[in-house]
Structures are given as structure tokens and as C-alpha cells.
Structure 1
């Protein structure tokens, strides 16, 4: 059995983004063996009711769960570790899984989340975990990791990127980079998928994984760090982004200066030959500049082109 603490902001967000009701909230119907954590006094239930009372779709969802209350909810005795009811409830639960619409809702509570080993999932991540299960992500061999230092942190982040690449190119996660109409998803959803993959590595190595860090020159997609001086920036772009070249030569280097690091990765998602020439030009210029001693971001390309099923592939 898996239990999750549901942030009220996620339910509020789902009232605006109705697709989440089916894709995410209905994953908690009793037949799915997933439960929502509530406190013994049901204070969190009162919070939910205030949000759903004027929304028919949310009210129908909650009414269905309430009809099967014993199967839908799991009562948790609170330990009073945090004045925030949601964090208190999650930290008191066994699984310590927290779902909200955005990690930004807990930007002031990062230390508490890490201290309590709370596993945070935003809406897009939660859809993957709740509908596909944790098995979609292969287990990580933690034994090969050495203590993270200024010298080896880039190698670890490259390992994360390699795993991300394998999951997309070899294990079918490229499907999550397409909408139902066949168009690619926006970059935000690709970033969320990367976050889901990187989370296990960062947790195992006591690293801080921060999305959209803004130090004054706009937000870099991810900053992975340990302490103040050990840090790597990761920027993700689709190959069809009109700012692809600018992002590498100017945008990411500006972020690096702001975060006081010379270690970074520029991760490019490509699904067509159309942009190969542009990418080759960037790679060639990188080789030339590095031969002159310039320290540049690590360029990383991933192919997310749709693949035929194994039965349809030619020998």
C-alpha cells in the first residue's frame, strides 16, 4: 500500500486544470490501493471541503472517496514537528510522500523537507508515479557513488543525464515528451521528467536539487549543489528552440557566473534531423574553444524520436 499527503493547493490547482482530476486525483479511488493521509481530527479534510464546495467536479471526486472512506484515507497521528498542517501530516506518515502543484509552495521549507526525508512530487511527476508506478524508473546502484566533492560532482550529474538519456531512448519514456496530438510537450514538462529521474540520485548523495533558481539574471532550469561551493547548473532545451545557440553561449554562462560555478550541462532534446547542422556547428565550435583552454558547459544531446515497437523493427 502507498500513502500520500495531498497539498490543498494541488486540489485548488486541479479545479482550474480539470485534466488533473482524472489523470491524478482519481488515482486514489479505492481499487488502486493508494491512500490519502489525513490527521486523526480530520482538520485536513475541513481544508479540502472549503476548496471543493463550489466546484462540482471536485465535489464529485471527493464524494466518491468519502463513500469509501476506510479504503480511501489513512489516519495519521500527528507528531507536532511543524506548524504547517500539511508538512506535519506528511512527516508523521510512514512513506512521507508529498504531492503539490509546485515545489515553489515549499520554497521556504526545503531544509525541513530534507531533514524529514520527505519525497516531494509536483503534479506532473505524480501523474507518472501514480499511473505507471515507481518501476518505470530503474533502481539506482548507490554503491558506486563516492562522497560528492567539487572535483566529482560534474561526473555525478553526467551520470544522471546518462540515465535520463537511457530512459528516454531505450526504455520508452520518449512517449512522455509527446502530447496526444503528436506535438512535443513544452519544456516545463521535460524539466519535470528530468526532476523525477534526478531526485533519487540527489537524495542518495545528500544533494540539493533546486529547480528554477534565480540569482538575478533569470532562472536556470536546475541547480544541483552540496554546500555553497559545490554546484552544477543544468539547462534543458528542445532543439527547435529558437534560442538554442544563444542559450549555450550566453544564457547558461551568465547563470554560471551568478551561481559561482564553472560546471554546467546544456541538455538538448532532439527528435529530427532538421536541427543536426546547427547542433554540429555548436559542437565543432565547442571543440575549437576548449582546445584553446576555454571552460564551457558540457553539451549533452538526447534523441526522443518516436520508435516503432520491437515487433515492427527490421533486423
Structure 2
């Protein structure tokens, strides 16, 4: 069976694994020994044997009674299979009066076979097991396997110990998700760092906020003009989440900030909870950065109830509220947000700046841009 990272009774754990097995068996039933759609294209093309074995492992592991902890390669495959099953289920519901292909039998089965389950157990409810989100969230301890390219970009410019302590991962565990040339580059870089060839800090004195703003501008420029926005979209044209944006920001900006002697702390715990980034130079120069998707239904709460409270709790005046726009229609939210920020700044004597990032997909090439085209910052 597949390890599940949440508290379930033994009966429910078995039931959940039976459903995972249904997802995997369904995938195998409709795929003729070709597993290319559940791995990154370049990984399958360059490491096909490993990928095929990982897919077959999942098939076998979901059927036995041993608890298997997945490697990142296995995790990527299972994550893809669950998403494929979700898409299939959605299509089935559309043509069958909303009936689920995978979950139509699960609740009656639970109540019949596991009638002694305590439904007042605070760790779960029966309905948890009939949602794909339950499996996407709990079959994996985290989703770092989706962001190996971004982590690797950060690792190149960050001391190894600092990288591992800040992100809590060892990239050596993820080499199966690196193409052979990138894996070789990583191992070479690891050897060089082991010899002590770490990046030296250089102090450049300048207005702190201006220096930080320039680093953010570099990130925005990379997204809009250098095609980095593509890293924020899955191959099936689904946009990535806020964590992917945070990782890409670190990959793009870390070396610049370090060169300017600015310390970057991802997900710093400040005041009432975690903030995406705390940037500091010395004791007194500090700026917070909060990243939110324009599509996030809690966008305004992130500004009013989250960022402002962080600033007040830590007695920090400066902050950047970075809004990532994936769809053209989302731009219309920004004017109202700008007015709200102006009001907050006046009320609390703060200096919050909104930076909007155009991460819409399928941008025109530079040769096709009209003369009046100007990216929105």
C-alpha cells in the first residue's frame, strides 16, 4: 500500500489505498505500456527505463500490504495519475448526471464494511475519501518533486548549507527528476561547493528600498521578457500555485540580493504567522514581500488581514505586495487594490507597494510586439 500522510484508522487507510489502486489500475487499463504522460517529457525521454520501472512499482505497491514510501520519481508519477483520474472523473460526471466514476460506491462501502468506525473522530470524515484533493494533499509529505528545476536554479547561487536549512530538502534525493546533463552539472557543482568554493558576499551601500525594488524589477523583467513565465505553467496549461512563484523569485533574485549584502529569509515566521519573504540588511533595514495570485479568493484578506498585521507586529514600514496575474481578466482587480493600498498606507503610516506581474501564457514574441505594447508592472 502507499503511505498516506494523515491520521486515518486502519480500516479507512485500507479503503483509501483501495481507491488509490483504482486510480492506478484505471490508468494502466487505458495505457498501452506507454507512461510518457505521467512524467516530465525530458525525464521520460532520457530516463525511460527508470520511469517505466517507477510506474510498474506503483502498480504493484498499491496492491500489497507493505507500506511503501515513494521516491520523488514515484511521487511525480502518482501525482500525475491522480490528476488524470480527476479529469476522467470530471468528464464522466458531465455525461452521467453527476455520478462519479471512481467514488460512486465508496460511501456505502465504508458504511457497510467499516460500520464500527467512529464518525466523531476529529482527524477525518467519511467525505474526505470521496474528493481527489484528499489524495493530492495526503499521498505526499510535500510537493517539492514538482519544483526541481526551480530549486536547482536557487541552489546554484546559494551556499549548500543555507539552501538545505532554508528549504529543508537535499537535492541529491531528486536526481531522478533531472535530465542526465543537468544531473552531471549538479554533481559537479556539489563537488565544487564541497571544496569550499562558496559565493562571497559583497556589500554595496545604497538606498535599501531602491535596491530591493531593482531586484524585484529584474524578476518581473525575467517573467515578461525572458520567457520565465513558462515555468509558472504546467505542460497541460494549468497555472502553478503561489509556492512556484516564490521559488522562481528566489531562483531569479537570490544572487542579486546576496551581492548587495541583503539577507533573504523565505517563509519567515513574523508576528501572527508566516510571511513569504523577509529581506534585511543589518539590523534596521527590513522589507517584507508577500506573493499572492490575482485569482486567489483571499487576495484582499492577504493584504488587509495578513500583510498589514505582520508589518505592525514587527514595526516594519516597508513591504511589497506582489500580485501574479495569469488571466487577462484579472488585471481589472488591480485598480481597486491600488486604492486600498493608498488608504492603508495613510491610515497606518506604512509604505506598501503593489507590484503586478504579467504571467499570462502564450505571450507574443518580441518581433511581434506592437510599438504601443508596454508590460504592466
TM-score (norm 1): 0.54
Equivalent in 205, 230, 236 of residue 147 of structure 1: 205
Question: Which aligned runs of 4 or more in structure 1 are off by greater than 6 angstroms?
Answer: 54-58, 99-102, 120-124, 126-129
Offset of 1:209 from its aligned partner?
Answer: 0.8
1:208 to 250, 263, 267: 263
**C-alpha separation between the residues in 1 aligned to 2:158 and 2:344?**
47
Report which of the two has the higher share of helix: 2
**C-alpha distance in 1 between matches for 2:73 and 2:239:** 28
Equivalents in 1 of 2:173, 2:253: separation in Å? 14
Give the deviation of 1:220 after TM superposition. 0.4
Question: Once the two structures are superposed, what CA deviation does each residue of 1:114-159 show, in whole Å capped at 9, x if it has no partner?
Answer: xxxxxx99979x979949x9xxxxxxxxxxx8415xxx21111111
SS of the residue corresponding to residue 213 of structure 1 reads strand
SS at match of 1:182: coil
**8 Å CA contact retained: 2:204, 2:261:** no
- Kindly tell me: are residues 214 and 291 of structure 1, through their superposed partners in 2, closer, same or farther at Cα, counting changes over 3 Å? closer
1:224 is aligned to 2:303:
no
The DSSP-based 3-state class of the residue aligned with 2:255 is helix
Closer/same/farther in 2, CA of residues 287 and 96 from structure 1, 3 Å limit = closer
Task: Indicate the residue corresponding to 2:166 in structure 1.
Answer: 103
Unaligned runs of 5+ in 2: 1-37, 48-69, 75-156, 186-202, 371-377
- SS for the counterpart of 1:185 is coil
Could you tell me whether the CA contact under 8 Å between 1:154 and 1:264 is conserved in 2?
A: no
Residue equivalent to 1:174: 229
Q: Which has the higher strand share?
A: 1
In the alignment, what sits opposite 1:73?
A: none
- Any idea what the Cα deviations from partners look like across 1:218-239, whole Å, max 9, x if unmatched? 1100001122321110001110
Alpha carbons of structure 1 residues 57 and 312: separation in structure 2 relative to 1, 3 Å: same
Give 1:298's aligned residue. Answer: 353
Structure 1 match to 2:130: none
Aligned ranges 1:1-315 → 2 under 5 Å: 98=160, 103-105=166-168, 130=182, 146-148=204-206, 152-288=207-343, 290=345, 294-310=349-365, 313=368
Q: Based on CA coordinates, which of the two structures has the bigger radius of gyration?
A: 2
| Alpha-carbon offset, residue 249 of structure 1 | 2.0
Contact kept, 8 Å, 1:263 with 1:297, in 2: the verdict is: yes
State the Cα deviation string for residues 153-196 of structure 1 (Å, max 9, x = none): 11111111111110000110010010111111111111000011
Pair 312,102 (structure 1): closer, same or farther in 2 beyond 3 Å: farther
> Is there any run of 5+ residues in structure 1 with no aligned partner, and where?
1-17, 28-53, 59-94, 107-119, 134-144
Secondary structure of the 1:156 match is: helix
SS at match of 1:297: strand
Separation (CA, whole Å) in 2 of partners of 1:298 and 1:262? 11
Return closer, same or farther for 1:127/1:301 CA change in 2, 3 Å cut-off: farther
CA–CA distance in 1 between the matches of 2:365 and 2:252? 25
Q: Alpha-carbon deviation of 1:314? A: 6.6
Structure-2-length-normalised TM-score: 0.46
Pairs aligned (count): 210
Cα gap change, 1:308/1:219 in structure 2, threshold over 3 Å: closer, same or farther?
Answer: closer
Equivalent position SS for 2:250: helix
CA RMSD in angstroms comes to: 4.4
Counterpart of 1:92 in structure 2 is none
